[in-house]
Amino acid sequence: MNENQNEKKRMKEMIQRMITKLRGDEKMKIVIPTEDMNGLESKVSEHFGKCNTYTFVDENGNVTMIIHNTSEHMGGVGLPPEIMKKNGADILLCRGLGPRALEMCREFGIDVYVGQVETAGEMFWLWKNKKIKRADANDVCEEHKH
């Protein structure tokens, strides 16, 4: 399969997951890399993989959980996309990420959006109001091209 076919397949799978969740009782889980445990008031982390916490919200903006970043970037085990998927993430809202992290999120079926705001609440508002950009290769951090 070429890259275009892979992208179409991922998009189709993502849309199907969203439809399934919206029709059922299960809600979409949105994750935002944050600096603390203050929910929507938390500062969005500058570095996706080295954030202190991941704040999860549903599609209505309700905080459902906040977890500490236990990835290998912080001396733990696993990579951030693995940890997010293990906790049910469907969508990642972040300030930036490296190319490998973007690809891993795609592989795990996590849709990624990037925006430049201060708080998790502002980031969620951008996504909810369709004022945030879906991440692509042009959005990756230059210093993380590995």
pLDDT confidence of residue 73: 82
C-alpha to C-alpha distance for 136 and 121, rounded to whole angstroms? 23
pLDDT confidence of residue 7: 76
User: Could you tell me the mean pLDDT of each successive run of 10 residues in the chain, 146 residues long?
Assistant: 72 67 69 96 92 95 94 85 93 92 93 95 96 84 52
C-alpha to C-alpha distance for 140 and 98, rounded to whole angstroms? 5
pLDDT confidence of residue 26: 61
Contact 32, 52 (CB under 8 A): no
| Residue position matching structure tokens 């059922």 | 24
pLDDT confidence of residue 146: 37
Q: Does this model's pTM top 0.75?
A: yes
pLDDT confidence of residue 9: 73
Q: What angle do CA 35, 113, 17 make, to 5 degrees?
A: 110
Class of domain 3-144: alpha beta
pLDDT confidence of residue 142: 59
Q: Checking phi first, is residue 29 left (phi over 0); if not, alpha (psi -120 to 50) or beta? A: beta
